[in-house]
Chains A and B, each alone.
Chain A
């Protein structure tokens, strides 16, 4: 009976006797030994709770008894976390029982990607420990942990320490690391699928190799949601001792999936909008769904989307339902309040971004609403898994497409989920900036032998393919910056000892390292503080009187605000009053709508196989009858006015619109790849004399507009579309564009901070007064000019290519569509192109942008000086794009005069 799904459920109905593990063993020989070995307090505890140990929990205990490192793959809600801890709890309990137990040393390390997660797990873990009165001490450690406590944790460690990858790196950089970790028995890596695929995962992998050296008998337990290729994570957990010969894999325990989720796509009579991402049209229905459920999670893809949806829900909240907001920019206190209210069942719905995406179990959620398209099947499954944490009941979810393309995408995601498809994790090469940071950290802990460290580093999966030459370049970088001009030998940070090891040149370098550890380089954040509104008559302000802090926003967002502008934050419309020191002061506004459309389409790009499904769906008119009527009609109209491409073709349309000529391309390869393609083809079109002016991209396609008649150029043979999309565009054009691009500069800054070339900004610790900050752009420009082959430029290029540029995907696209371009020269806008043309966030052709703005400002001034007619408002059409940036931008053309300190 225990093998049947009913026996695996977490809670049993009242009155039914719990199954004893021993009788279960009769029918389940595979579980027998582990089940019997479940020691008394644990068996009793399960019994008292009326629970059954689950098969995967027993399997993991068995693996642990055999000291096998293991990956546990289980869907959300399968009790993964407890499973991960059980072996440690059992082993620690047994150890304490033994006579002459040695003094307490760190036994288990639990690593989680989220600080909040570690806190949550502490709660879940503390409960069983307290219930069973286990003699086990466990503590958390994060950036917020006090210095005194951190010090004590190193001197007298708990049995179980729960922490983040960054804290582990810090602990390992201390001289006492061998003592602290010498008796370490188990490492538990939670949410491994999200950790392993990032730079944090690279850092963690390196730290795990060091842990293995300090505690050779170490066992790793990885906990992961369902992934497409478990082998990648299994290899991540294993020690790659001979990386050239074979990839070693950890063991794996896979729980069978639970009941298929019950997912519906919101379809209603209101027509789905052509473009946009707010899904405002559907929020009435969403509100009704919230009303009909106990607790709903409303997931959106970006913070600003969260703000919009939250605000809109409250506008129609006639029943005053308790609806809350949760995203990463809100103050920690505010988030905590929401979390507590969720656990207590005091709220009806939470609008949330990915801050609530991971395995946090906050309450009794019975409906998950996903606004916009989920962008990937795995993400959908993860989010849907938040509802009904029981394997025997289906999770219930509602998908709300925000525009017509998203209807197709939601369909595709649903089909993919039903087919059990998962997005593959792309195997990655470990980042070089992270390696540099690790090398420095290791030097801080003790002098090291380069050969030994090389071997150690290569035993981590992401670095298994690292060659010695690159490793030596990293060593050189850490020591002297790695420049061809050997100017810094005498300032080297690493020096050779008499026995040929490398040691830190000065202890102060260790402090420098510790202040800069970690791989998360946030864009600088600005605190938003509430203040009173200022009257416009009040000329020279003497300073703001501050109220409470509302939260933080990215610096770039504040940069675009002028005093008087309104925007949405924390569910309120705020009026920007001004900056004072490093804080932005805002007042509450009565304005019905915010002026600044603080809004990005979505931060996750459409996954490759969802894109395939969407293409196939469009290419097959037979399937359109299943679609909502407006969407089916839209596609039929497209077929009539232009063309429907086959699933292996790419459609390119050219048509005039206003005084411009557009070229719309539909690759369906995700926003990042399209943006890259846009940058590249505008360069090419510029060279060919087509006078491109700008472009816009979304997940489905891109539109370039130009001053020349593109249809005519194609007809006259002056514009060869095959040639335009040839793969060689990823060669010189890419290099030339990248070198100048802001994106590359930003990427370089991240690499420079992670690698320790420049110091992190420490809020509150910045020098006061006349701070003269030097921008990394200066460093980038100098390096590119004088040493273009420098390892840090290489690292930045790799990052950009793999991440924001999606070069790999773009390359696959270009090779896929060779000879399969379908061109339609049209007289007007095509139906399919409308959602793309409506997209906000247009890019002017970047090459000239900045210089143009300067020139425009200068012309403006000179004109004023010559005519004596001083224009009050600077806003006029951009000379480059000929279009105001605000297509779809509700910002009024004439803006309130700014506060002036000078004239």
Chain B
């Protein structure tokens, strides 16, 4: 892996736009939007879109701004534009609940359709969306194996390798100079990777939470935090539990 020669002055934001990540010898680019690009397959992977989460809350009387789906899709469109990927894999929990698809507005449906034009689109099912309506287009799979790598929503417990999963909404809390703040992050160990949640109204689970222990054990993990202008690899010793 080539490491950038550091200039003495501050780095350009652009240099942090995406970062190389290698999983079982396959090379990926992790993007600061939270998407993962696989150059060899020309595929873009995004996870946990949680479309229509706003309206799902509204059903229960919590009237969050109804712009989350629009916002998520427009950020997705930007990421797709950046890489011009031929394939998009949505790694589960693409809709916040099973009836979410029926609440999509016409505009959002159209945006989705435009994104799907001229490219392959694969919905992987998740616990929030075990069934995905046919009229959303694309193919629906419970999991997908490509070039020996398995793409599934929920990460398998134990020392599994060759897996790209999501579901846990990993987030990291950085603490430096007495300031601390939390961001979604990619977390990986060279053999498996857990994707950050892409959806606009998705929270995060601290990677120091016990839930990550069975996946990565104490072998160590590498962490890339999502910033507003870039993706930043961060030494786990700078991270804090919540």
Partner-B contacts on A (CB < 8 A): 477, 480-483, 485, 487-488, 491, 493, 505-506, 508-509, 512, 559-560, 562, 578-579, 757-759, 770-775, 778-779, 782-783, 785-787, 790, 849-851, 853-866, 874-875, 878-879, 884-886, 898, 900-903
**B4: chain A residues within 8 A (beta carbon):** 862
- Is there contact, CB below 8 Å, between B55 and A853? no
Q: CA of A793 to CA of B189 in the docked complex: distance in angstroms? A: 42
**B202: chain A residues within 8 A (beta carbon):** 772, 774
**Min distance, Cβ A534 to any Cβ of chain B, angstroms:** 15
B3-54 at interface with A (beta carbon < 8 Å)? 3-4, 6, 10-11, 13, 16, 54
- Is there contact, CB below 8 Å, between B234 and A491? no
Instruction: Given A785-B71, A861-B235, verify A902-B181 contact (CB < 8 Å).
Output: no
- Is there contact, CB below 8 Å, between A859 and B204? no
Q: CA of A862 to CA of B242 in the docked complex: distance in angstroms? A: 25
Q: Does B146 contact A (CB under 8 A)?
A: no
**Min distance, Cβ B181 to any Cβ of chain A, angstroms:** 6
Please tell me which one of the listed residues A482, A774, A786 contacts residue B71 in the complex, with CB atoms under 8 A apart.
Answer: A786
Please tell me which one of the listed residues A559, A771, A850, A858 contacts residue B16 in the complex, with CB atoms under 8 A apart.
Answer: A858
- Is there contact, CB below 8 Å, between A875 and B177? yes
Q: Does B188 contact A (CB under 8 A)?
A: no
Q: What residue of chain A has the Cβ atom nearest to residue B220's Cβ?
A: A903
Please tell me which one of the listed residues A481, A783, A860, A886 contacts residue B235 in the complex, with CB atoms under 8 A apart.
Answer: A860
B148-176 at interface with A (beta carbon < 8 Å)? 168-169, 174-176
- Is there contact, CB below 8 Å, between A857 and B61? no
- Is there contact, CB below 8 Å, between A774 and B65? no
- Is there contact, CB below 8 Å, between A901 and B208? yes
Chain B count of residues within 8 A CB distance of the other chain: 63
Instruction: Given A488-B66, A885-B178, verify A862-B238 contact (CB < 8 Å).
Output: no
Instruction: Given A488-B58, A855-B10, A859-B6, verify A782-B176 contact (CB < 8 Å).
Output: no
Q: Give me 21 A-to-B residue pairs in the complex whose CB atoms sit less than 8 angstroms apart, sorted by A's number.
A: A480-B63, A483-B63, A485-B67, A487-B54, A487-B58, A493-B63, A559-B240, A562-B240, A579-B242, A772-B203, A783-B65, A785-B71, A786-B71, A851-B227, A853-B177, A854-B227, A855-B16, A857-B232, A865-B3, A902-B216, A903-B236
- Is there contact, CB below 8 Å, between A857 and B203? no
Instruction: Given A785-B71, A902-B208, verify A854-B61 contact (CB < 8 Å).
Output: no
Q: CA of A772 to CA of B211 in the docked complex: distance in angstroms? A: 12
- Is there contact, CB below 8 Å, between B70 and A786? yes
- Is there contact, CB below 8 Å, between A787 and B62? no
**A787: chain B residues within 8 A (beta carbon):** 65, 67
- Is there contact, CB below 8 Å, between A857 and B6? no
**Min distance, Cβ A793 to any Cβ of chain B, angstroms:** 10
Please tell me which one of the listed residues B55, B180, B233 contacts residue A491 in the complex, with CB atoms under 8 A apart.
Answer: B55
User: Which among B169, B176, B236 has the greatest number of chain A C-beta atoms within 10 A?
Assistant: B176
Known: A779-B201, A857-B225. 18 other contacts (CB 8 A): A487-B66, A560-B175, A579-B242, A759-B62, A775-B182, A786-B67, A787-B65, A853-B179, A855-B232, A856-B176, A860-B238, A861-B233, A862-B6, A862-B233, A898-B237, A902-B208, A902-B216, A903-B220
Q: CA of A776 to CA of B69 in the docked complex: distance in angstroms? A: 17
- Is there contact, CB below 8 Å, between A488 and B55? yes
**Min distance, Cβ B168 to any Cβ of chain A, angstroms:** 8
Instruction: Given A487-B55, A790-B65, verify A849-B201 contact (CB < 8 Å).
Output: no
Q: CA of A512 to CA of B174 in the docked complex: distance in angstroms? A: 34
Q: CA of A850 to CA of B173 in the docked complex: distance in angstroms? A: 12
Q: CA of A757 to CA of B66 in the docked complex: distance in angstroms? A: 12
**Min distance, Cβ A578 to any Cβ of chain B, angstroms:** 8
**Min distance, Cβ B111 to any Cβ of chain A, angstroms:** 14
Q: CA of A311 to CA of B168 in the docked complex: distance in angstroms? A: 45
Q: CA of A562 to CA of B61 in the docked complex: distance in angstroms? A: 40
- Is there contact, CB below 8 Å, between A770 and B211? yes
**Min distance, Cβ B108 to any Cβ of chain A, angstroms:** 10
5 pairs of A and B residues whose beta carbons are closest in the complex: A481-B63, A487-B66, A858-B232, A786-B67, A774-B203
- Is there contact, CB below 8 Å, between B6 and A483? no
**A878: chain B residues within 8 A (beta carbon):** 177
**Min distance, Cβ A742 to any Cβ of chain B, angstroms:** 9
**B204: chain A residues within 8 A (beta carbon):** 772
B195-242 at interface with A (beta carbon < 8 Å)? 200-205, 208-209, 211, 216, 218, 220-221, 225, 227-230, 232-242
**B240: chain A residues within 8 A (beta carbon):** 559, 562
Please tell me which one of the listed residues B3, B65, B180 contacts residue A559 in the complex, with CB atoms under 8 A apart.
Answer: B180
**Min distance, Cβ B176 to any Cβ of chain A, angstroms:** 5
Q: What residue of chain B has the Cβ atom nearest to residue A491's Cβ?
A: B58
- Is there contact, CB below 8 Å, between B66 and A758? no
- Is there contact, CB below 8 Å, between A782 and B235? no
Q: CA of A579 to CA of B209 in the docked complex: distance in angstroms? A: 12
Q: Does B82 contact A (CB under 8 A)?
A: no
User: Which among A480, A493, A854, A901 has the greatest number of chain B C-beta atoms within 10 A?
Assistant: A854
Q: Give the number of A-B contacts (CB < 8 Å).
A: 177
Instruction: Given A757-B63, A866-B3, verify A778-B201 contact (CB < 8 Å).
Output: yes
- Is there contact, CB below 8 Å, between B235 and A864? yes
Q: CA of A861 to CA of B61 in the docked complex: distance in angstroms? A: 45
- Is there contact, CB below 8 Å, between B65 and A854? no
Instruction: Given A772-B204, A902-B221, verify A854-B234 contact (CB < 8 Å).
Output: yes
- Is there contact, CB below 8 Å, between A491 and B59? yes
Q: CA of A369 to CA of B71 in the docked complex: distance in angstroms? A: 56
Q: CA of A491 to CA of B56 in the docked complex: distance in angstroms? A: 10
- Is there contact, CB below 8 Å, between A901 and B65? no
**B220: chain A residues within 8 A (beta carbon):** 902-903
Q: Does B97 contact A (CB under 8 A)?
A: no
**A785: chain B residues within 8 A (beta carbon):** 67, 71
Q: CA of A854 to CA of B172 in the docked complex: distance in angstroms? A: 11
Q: What residue of chain A has the Cβ atom nearest to residue B68's Cβ?
A: A782
**B105: chain A residues within 8 A (beta carbon):** 487
Please tell me which one of the listed residues A579, A758, A855, A902 contacts residue B11 in the complex, with CB atoms under 8 A apart.
Answer: A855
- Is there contact, CB below 8 Å, between A861 and B234? yes
Q: CA of A199 to CA of B174 in the docked complex: distance in angstroms? A: 35
Q: CA of A133 to CA of B234 in the docked complex: distance in angstroms? A: 72
**Min distance, Cβ A708 to any Cβ of chain B, angstroms:** 17
Q: CA of A505 to CA of B59 in the docked complex: distance in angstroms? A: 11
**Min distance, Cβ B150 to any Cβ of chain A, angstroms:** 22
**A772: chain B residues within 8 A (beta carbon):** 169, 202-205
- Is there contact, CB below 8 Å, between A481 and B218? no
Q: What residue of chain B has the Cβ atom nearest to residue A900's Cβ?
A: B237
Q: Does B64 contact A (CB under 8 A)?
A: yes
- Is there contact, CB below 8 Å, between A779 and B65? yes
Q: CA of A464 to CA of B240 in the docked complex: distance in angstroms? A: 49
Q: CA of A662 to CA of B66 in the docked complex: distance in angstroms? A: 47
Q: CA of A902 to CA of B172 in the docked complex: distance in angstroms? A: 13
- Is there contact, CB below 8 Å, between A902 and B218? yes
**Min distance, Cβ B75 to any Cβ of chain A, angstroms:** 11
- Is there contact, CB below 8 Å, between B178 and A850? no
**A874: chain B residues within 8 A (beta carbon):** 176, 235, 237-238
**B203: chain A residues within 8 A (beta carbon):** 772-775, 778
- Is there contact, CB below 8 Å, between A851 and B235? no
**B11: chain A residues within 8 A (beta carbon):** 855, 859
Please tell me which one of the listed residues A477, A560, A783, A790 contacts residue B178 in the complex, with CB atoms under 8 A apart.
Answer: A560
**A482: chain B residues within 8 A (beta carbon):** 63
Q: CA of A864 to CA of B13 in the docked complex: distance in angstroms? A: 20
- Is there contact, CB below 8 Å, between B6 and A866? yes
- Is there contact, CB below 8 Å, between A855 and B230? yes
Per-residue CB contact flags for chain B residues 97-123 toward chain A (1 = under 8 Å, else 0) read: 000000001000000000000000000
Instruction: Given A491-B59, A779-B201, A855-B16, verify A884-B177 contact (CB < 8 Å).
Output: yes
**B68: chain A residues within 8 A (beta carbon):** 782
**B54: chain A residues within 8 A (beta carbon):** 487
- Is there contact, CB below 8 Å, between A858 and B205? no
Q: CA of A469 to CA of B90 in the docked complex: distance in angstroms? A: 44
- Is there contact, CB below 8 Å, between A858 and B229? no
- Is there contact, CB below 8 Å, between B242 and A853? no
- Is there contact, CB below 8 Å, between B174 and A854? yes
**A886: chain B residues within 8 A (beta carbon):** 178
**B55: chain A residues within 8 A (beta carbon):** 487-488, 491
